[in-house]
Structure 1
């Protein structure tokens, strides 16, 4: 990428150079000898280039420091100081953010769901392998974007850069998707239900009021954790990520031993014939006891992809990942590719031991137990360990998943607020004295709490499952925009010299097209009518309809925000300046002309008259 007139190279002042901010917000170097860097690490024009600036001792003095030359403080200019390098995320913490977001309940529940819909163990393993392959396709695209735009925000930054016209349209729609339906409220509800079921295994559906209360307490506790101590939040997330990996590895080892010895404690489901663990359970792996419908194929694919959800979490916090000199992208690349490779292998091995220990009939029978519970019942018997212990173990996995999610989404929503798209953006973009995105955490809390409270109670969790499917549907549209944005990045006028750093463009282009086709297929499957045995209390078309309405809300919001308000004279623009050291300066410019100016002047005059009246009183 290049700035016009730079001949493919970006110039930076040396790190010991002071910076002067001119009246029109441009940053210029006091010295005359710039340092020339290759365009491998050059930043896009949207994020203005700057030099390393020292982190002031007073976090609230940023705007004052920037306006020393003008003699007054500009209330519309906000500085987000850089994070010290030693406080940024290293290999372990970055991997933990990805692992913890991916491993929730998926690998403990979805394998039987996938098999029940596709009907074949061999095909199910193929789908889990394909899910890993699809994840790698998306990861390659996102890593290339992350190397080009090494900032917090993920898709918000990529879409804003790739679609500058019509102004704010693409980024507004994506922002509305993130604010309204990317919240993972169902995870907090699932954690609450698992805890209550562990306390009293006989109650399959605990009191919904108690479930909602515990979910709200969990949400509040996690948001407060990330508000008051970023370091403690990262530490807990690291611990729970390692715990999840150990839990999955224990399942794999236990299953391998059971398959090797061929010993079990009895059938996993009462009333079924006992078939001991072993490789014989893979006999006729590609036989179909029934012919899956298109809707059932779609359910299988969505179940697999849901278990892999979270691979993009490092892109959301990329500005907080360490960038060692001369190896700026190493930690990011190693953490993303390493974690996804490890998870794909663990997922496949876990499915192998599930299928080797449990018979097809045991897996296909829906008795309300997740596949991990059936697995442990067959290996150890149906005792207190399975009834209570497993639910606690899975609940801790869900909690770690939720902690990782809130950490990443808070950074994304703070970037949305910095673009000044939302009402009260200055508050939502606020950074606390603990260097945490307190405003974005408050925004996240509001919408997640709203979902938890408003969504009606369903014994089979159909309503919360619909909320989850809304996210999958919306995320498919976001990914499509990102893929098209990558094409614009390569062939557009702004970045026509950009080249991918990991693989050749011709190979990446094939991956982009394939990934777009797969996501279009997912969107089509969401609209596909289900089979006759559809049992959900919510009609199948509700999920894609509501998600499409959210897209429409995003477009309508853009019409008001970017078209109608400017026409009546109210303009507001933001100019984010990303500096090389990771600091951020956002300059907000307000303009009032025509009708808006007349109304403002009238209100100011009326307000002054009131003040004068009360002073006389």
Structure 2
């Protein structure tokens, strides 16, 4: 169509039927929409944090500290640490209002190399392993009722986990609203099971079931190493406190809704976790809890029989909701890394019809399916915990650095400098604790794998070899046509 015809159509479109001129409508940019409000933000935090952790970690935390009193203390302190870390991320998220979580913060503070290493580690270790752990946990809970008295076959668990990954990936690729609504529904479902366990525990306490809380610090085994390992397990259950920063560009009024979601969401999770642990101890001694294969299921069998089937059903809802939240936010990291040129450019493209980062989400789902093939949850947790706290510490340290190097930045939220200092020091301790107390080659392999990203950065990002572009351009073109995606900011006709 010629330029003159386009001009004539615009002029005709700028007049109403009575001939009066109206303002021409500017073409809209294809970009991520601000569709996540305060309620959805709170649900995203609560829904992502409360997953399989609270139904698995109590046993590990108790095993490391040995008594009820220190166990409950660890859960409370972990909640405080998660809140402090989230407040640091609230300042980062409102100062640098870009999606992608830690990625843009490391980019602004330290430059492209640390940011690339974070995206490299996150895309290939941290996020897929977290998604895989949660989906494998979901598969175990969902399949358990069909195999009473024995463990479900590994192939069943892996196939069910893969099916969950595919469904969640499709939902989040189709619609931001659909993924958000699904998260809200699953969050409501998991809050039901949390409420059932917590209220049951309060009722049992009122009935005098307090014998397990007497001399609650007796027989405790407190040491630097045991506390460190207990924190690892407790903080795994709290992981997700920073997830809202991955979708800052999609938050309505982020300066208000980001900190409010944190201030409301994380303390709510902390209260729930402490109440759930208290409920467990009203029906089980420390020894019985340590011997239980599934703490929540044992609790349900003792308190809710014959309606104990409710617990594994809603625990399955809880884990799938957490997996959905992780997928929703982690897809944005791939999107931002692709937009910055640190990954294939097509990963930063946005669906024309759906306005979602579909290529990034699909890529993330595909990597996660690879991780469920070994199916070793403990190994995945070790890799995840060690790697993630390296970058949590670096990101919070970035906040301290930018207070001095980027004073010109507008900071709608400015927390006391002592908070990021505390979180940085704790991060260092959490990274060093497993190396000092229980050194394993797995930690060395993890560090080497992260640093191996430097090779790819030098070859493909810094020097940008021409032959790599000859390979990536045809791939980008075909994927763009197949998925109907365009670069962000490209004008939609």
TM-score, structure 1 normalization: 0.68
- Output one character per residue of 1:559-596: Cα deviation in whole Å (capped at 9) or x when no partner: 32345547999999xxxxxxxxxx95489xxxxxxxxx
Correspondence for 1:305: 235
Counterparts in 2 of 1:102-181, with a 5 A limit?
102-164=49-111, 168-181=112-125
The question of whether the paired residues in 2 share the 8 Å contact of 1:420 and 1:426 is answered with: no
Distance 1:367 1:136 in 2: 30
Counterparts in 2 of 1:261-300, with a 5 A limit?
261-262=207-208, 278-288=209-219, 291=221, 294-300=224-230
Q: Helix, strand or coil: the match of 1:317?
A: helix
Could you list the structure 1 runs, at least 4 aligned residues long, displaced by more than 6 angstroms after superposition. 566-572
Q: Following TM superposition, by how much is the alpha carbon of 1:433 offset from its aligned partner in structure 2, in angstroms? A: 1.9
Distance 2:284 2:356 in 1: 46
The question of whether the paired residues in 1 share the 8 Å contact of 2:212 and 2:281 is answered with: yes
Correspondence for 1:344: 270
Relative distance call for 1:194 and 1:432 in structure 2 (3 A) is farther
Q: Which of residues 147, 172, 176 in structure 2 aligns to 1:230?
A: 176
Q: Which has the higher strand share?
A: 1
Relative distance call for 1:498 and 1:283 in structure 2 (3 A) is same
- Output one character per residue of 1:24-45: Cα deviation in whole Å (capped at 9) or x when no partner: xxxxxxxxxxxxxxxxxxxxxx
Q: Which of residues 432, 445, 459 in structure 2 aligns to 1:560?
A: 459
Correspondence for 1:200: 147
Pairing 1:445–2:365 present: yes
Correspondence for 1:250: 196
Correspondence for 2:432: 524
Of structures 1 and 2, the larger Rg is shown by: 1
Q: Following TM superposition, by how much is the alpha carbon of 1:411 offset from its aligned partner in structure 2, in angstroms? A: 1.1
The question of whether the paired residues in 2 share the 8 Å contact of 1:411 and 1:440 is answered with: yes
Q: Helix, strand or coil: the match of 1:285?
A: coil
Q: Following TM superposition, by how much is the alpha carbon of 1:91 offset from its aligned partner in structure 2, in angstroms? A: 1.5
The CA RMSD measured in Å over matched residues stands at 2.7
Relative distance call for 1:232 and 1:566 in structure 2 (3 A) is closer
- Output one character per residue of 1:223-265: Cα deviation in whole Å (capped at 9) or x when no partner: 1111123222211110111121222122111111122224xxx
Relative distance call for 1:140 and 1:357 in structure 2 (3 A) is same
Relative distance call for 1:565 and 1:213 in structure 2 (3 A) is same
The question of whether the paired residues in 2 share the 8 Å contact of 1:114 and 1:301 is answered with: yes
Correspondence for 2:10: none
Q: Which of residues 474, 485, 496 in structure 1 aligns to 2:387?
A: 474
Relative distance call for 1:569 and 1:214 in structure 2 (3 A) is closer
Correspondence for 1:26: none
Relative distance call for 1:55 and 1:145 in structure 2 (3 A) is farther
Distance 2:158 2:196 in 1: 32
Counterparts in 2 of 1:38-57, with a 5 A limit?
56=27
Pairing 1:374–2:304 present: no
Q: Following TM superposition, by how much is the alpha carbon of 1:111 offset from its aligned partner in structure 2, in angstroms? A: 1.7
Distance 2:92 2:256 in 1: 14
Relative distance call for 1:448 and 1:432 in structure 2 (3 A) is farther
List runs of 5+ in structure 1 lacking aligned partners: 1-52, 63-79, 263-277, 458-462, 531-539, 573-582, 588-617
Q: Following TM superposition, by how much is the alpha carbon of 1:511 offset from its aligned partner in structure 2, in angstroms? A: 1.4
Pairing 1:511–2:419 present: yes
Q: Following TM superposition, by how much is the alpha carbon of 1:100 offset from its aligned partner in structure 2, in angstroms? A: 0.8
Q: Which of residues 376, 393, 413 in structure 1 aligns to 2:314?
A: 393
Distance 2:25 2:243 in 1: 28
Q: Which of residues 458, 465, 483 in structure 1 aligns to 2:396?
A: 483
Q: Which of residues 341, 345, 354 in structure 2 aligns to 1:434?
A: 354
The question of whether the paired residues in 1 share the 8 Å contact of 2:32 and 2:355 is answered with: no
List runs of 5+ in structure 2 lacking aligned partners: 1-23, 473-486
Q: Following TM superposition, by how much is the alpha carbon of 1:444 offset from its aligned partner in structure 2, in angstroms? A: 0.2
Q: Following TM superposition, by how much is the alpha carbon of 1:55 offset from its aligned partner in structure 2, in angstroms? A: 6.7
Distance 2:162 2:63 in 1: 33
Q: Helix, strand or coil: the match of 2:353?
A: coil
Q: Following TM superposition, by how much is the alpha carbon of 1:294 offset from its aligned partner in structure 2, in angstroms? A: 4.8
Relative CO higher for 1 or 2, CA cutoff 8 Å, sep ≥ 6? Answer: 2
The question of whether the paired residues in 1 share the 8 Å contact of 2:134 and 2:319 is answered with: yes
Correspondence for 1:32: none
- Output one character per residue of 1:165-205: Cα deviation in whole Å (capped at 9) or x when no partner: xxx2111101101110121212112212222112222221x
Q: How many residues align?
A: 450
